[in-house]
């Protein structure tokens, strides 16, 4: 005679599909960052969100589409914050640059900011057909930086060519995703504000 059926955990009920999609993207970003894209299964993501293992496929066709959504969300947030910096047309170029640097560090290291690190770590895992949208958003983000650095170059305030400066600065800040989080727990660790100030000092002439 068969034994009693094992009860399964109830799936969280949420009437707003957009909220469920946001939950999936947020949790996927955290798990992709912690375990890598290849080391994370759709079941892992569904379990962490409180969904059945097949439910994510109501929102995303496959895991790669979910990875694209994570990257897209990171760039969307980055654009939103960076565009807020440049909205003040009267802001001097140097101050605009300082704020962009600090904003980018925040995009990488603020609580819950797992989206851009995933793009840095798992870009090669994204199939070519999904990359076009991400590249379009990244180009818009780069344009904000490029415009500001060109203003600084015209004023003689940076030590190198504007494009080279952009590549070097963003590369250096992005690399902090591999070391800053662990080191920030150490005694007397440098703050993000101080780190941003030192980054600016490396590429600009004293004013």
Give residue 119's domain range: 62-203
How large is the C-alpha radius of gyration of the chain? 21
Separation in Å, CA 100 to CA 79, 86, 95, 97 = 11, 9, 9, 5
In a domain, 23, yes or no: no
With respect to residue 104, please indicate whether it lies within any of the assigned structural domains.
yes
Distance in angstroms between the alpha carbons of the first and the last residue of the chain: 85
* pLDDT score recorded for residue 73: 94
Closest listed residue to residue 100, CA positions, set 146, 68, 58, 54: 146
In a domain, 19, yes or no: no
Provide the number of structural domains found in the chain. 1
User: If you ran DSSP here, which 8-state letter would residue 157 be given?
Assistant: -
For residue 14, what is the DSSP state? -
**3-class DSSP state for residue 158?**
strand
**80 inside domain:** yes
Q: Is residue 167 packed enough to be buried (19+ CB in 10 Å), middle (13-18) or exposed (0-12)? A: middle
Asked, for residue 199, whether it belongs to a domain, the answer is yes
pLDDT given at position 13: 45
Q: Could you tell me the CATH number of the domain that includes residue 91? A: 1.10.357.10
- Nearest alpha-carbon partner for 198 in 163, 173, 165, 166: 173
Does residue 195 sit in helix, strand or coil? helix
Per-residue pLDDT for the chain (207 aa), expressed as one digit of tens each?
Answer: 444 433 333 444 445 667 788 999 999 999 999 999 999 999 999 999 998 888 888 899 999 999 999 999 999 999 999 999 999 878 999 999 999 999 999 999 987 789 999 999 999 999 999 999 999 999 999 999 999 999 999 999 998 899 999 999 999 999 999 888 755 556 667 889 999 999 999 989 876
């Amino acid at each position: 005679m068969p034994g009693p059926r094992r009860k399964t955990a109830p799936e969280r009920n949420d009437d707003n599909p957009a909220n469920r999609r946001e939950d999936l993207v947020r949790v996927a970003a955290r798990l992709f960052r912690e375990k890598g894209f290849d080391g994370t299964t759709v079941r892992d993501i569904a379990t962490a969100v409180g969904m059945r293992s097949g439910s994510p496929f109501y929102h995303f066709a496959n895991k790669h589409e979910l990875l694209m959504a994570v990257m897209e969300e990171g760039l969307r947030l980055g654009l939103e914050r960076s565009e807020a910096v440049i909205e003040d047309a009267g802001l001097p170029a140097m101050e605009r640059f300082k704020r962009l640097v600090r904003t980018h560090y925040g995009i990488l290291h603020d609580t819950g900011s797992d989206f851009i690190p995933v793009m840095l770590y798992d870009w090669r895992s994204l199939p070519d057909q999904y990359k076009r949208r991400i590249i379009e958003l990244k180009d818009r983000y780069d344009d904000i930086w490029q415009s500001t650095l060109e203003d600084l170059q015209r004023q003689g305030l940076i030590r190198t060519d504007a494009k080279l400066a952009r590549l070097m600065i963003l590369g250096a800040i992005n690399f902090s995703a591999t070391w800053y989080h662990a080191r920030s727990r150490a005694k007397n660790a440098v703050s993000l504000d101080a780190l941003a100030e030192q980054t600016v000092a490396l590429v600009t002439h004293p004013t």
